[in-house]
Amino acid sequence: MKVGMYYNNSDVRVEEMPVPQIGPDELLVKVYASGICGSDILEWYRVKKAPSVLGHELAGEVVAAGEEVEGYAVGERVTVTHHVPCNTCHYCLGGHHTACETLHTTTFYPGGFAQYVRIPAINVDRGVLPLPHEVSYEEGSFVEPLGTVVRGATRAGIGPGDSMLILGCGIAGLLHVKMARALGAGRIIATDLNEFRREAAAHRGADHVLDAREDVPARVREVNDGRLVDKVIICAGALSAAEQALQCVDRGGVVLFFAVPKPGETVAVDFNPMWRDDMTFMSSYAAARWDLATALELIRSQRVVVSDMITHRLSLEEIGEGFRLASAGERCLKVVIEPNRTDAGI
């Protein structure tokens, strides 16, 4: 089979690997859609494990099932998540599934940028979701990224009437805009350095879009009736975004670190106003099964439309161009790779 082998952001090669052999409790999935995630182009992180086959936002068809597998049949359309929790450790039982050590060590093989992936038993048990007939493969590839947003929005307690500031209008930021709108948030403000992404946010639910180079706290007050905002979601890894977030949250508000600065970079925090004004800082990473199931239903019901964020649909042979586009990010939102385009009917 063909795979996209990652060496660095500017060197992703189409190579040959054997089709994975599955065990009695595993599945083999033929991949029809696999999205390039922002973490896939986080080069400082990815090159440490290169060469490797990346890709974890996928949907496809079950083409083989081990004799011990129950609940899934050949021909079934599915989406699969790579990281799954144990559901029994101290952290899982406390509701912190994404802090589970098992979640950080599980994955499928070799990766979503391949024509076929082997789904290990633990992922079969708690990481596979059947796709309803209303959901296309490319929409199914959004279940994992939207699931992470569902988890973040739940942790931040986003609800009707909340004023929002979303820093960064990449796919994560746009999904947060759409999620906030679906949850009935009030005024939604989004920022980005890139004009194309600001325009994308304006067309996908944001009430106001700001250039991140502006005096963002002052502009927030201008468009939010003189107040700072109830909820700030950081969807950009720049240190300046984290610093802006702390300046934009109102009394009683929440700052959610959905993205964080690079390792070793630190944010200076004066805890006195946070203590005095009842502010909350929190983080959110990855997703658990409830988040993914909720994301799938949001997509199925069209409460959160995802297809309008795909700017590029490329074959596996074009994966190098896909990584170039995603890395540059100039007029690109989501790149979806179609490893089996010729016979996928897409």
**3-state per-residue secondary structure call for the chain:** CEEEEEEECCEEEEEECCCCCCCCCCEEEEEEEEECCHHHHCHHHHHHHCCEECCCEEEEEEEEECCCCCCCCCCCEEEECCCCCCCCCHHHHCCCHHHCCCCCCCCCECCCCECEEEECHHHHHHCEEECCCCCCHHHHCCHHHHHHHHHHHHHHCCCCCCCEEEECCCHHHHHHHHHHHHCCCCCEEEEECCHHHHHHHHCCCCCEEEECCCCHHHHHHHHCCCCCEEEEEECCCCHHHHHHHHHHEEEEEEEEECCCCCCCCCCCCCHHHHHHCCCEEEECCCCCHHHHHHHHHHHHCCCCCCHHHEEEEEEHHHHHHHHHHHHHCCCCCEEEEECCHHHHCC
pLDDT digits (tens, 9 = 90+) for 190-244: 999 999 999 999 999 999 999 999 999 999 999 999 999 999 999 999 999 999 9
Q: How much is the average pLDDT of 179-195? A: 97
CATH class for the region spanning 155-279: alpha beta
Q: Which of 21-30, 186-195, 270-279, 296-305 has the lowest mean pLDDT?
A: 270-279
pLDDT of residue 345: 47
Percent above pLDDT 90 for the chain: 91
Sequence ranges of the domains in the chain: 2-142+306-344, 155-279
2-142+306-344 adopts what CATH topology? Answer: Quinone Oxidoreductase; Chain A, domain 1 (3.90.180)
Q: What is the pLDDT of residues 106-154, one digit of tens each?
A: 999 999 999 999 999 999 999 999 999 999 999 999 999 999 999 999 9
Looking at residue 210, its pLDDT comes to 98
Binned at pLDDT 50, 70 and 90, residue 329 comes out as: confident
How confident is the model over 52-75, as pLDDT tens digits?
999 999 999 999 999 999 999 999
- Better-scored residue on pLDDT, 173 or 262: 173
Question: What's the rounded mean pLDDT across residues 285-313?
Answer: 97
What pTM, to 2 d.p., does this model score?
0.95
Q: Does position 303 have pLDDT exceeding 80, yes or no?
A: yes
pLDDT > 70 in the chain, percent: 99
What is the reported pLDDT for 331? 92
Mean pLDDT of 163-185: 97
Which pLDDT score is estimated for 42?
A: 83
Q: Which pLDDT score is estimated for 45?
A: 83
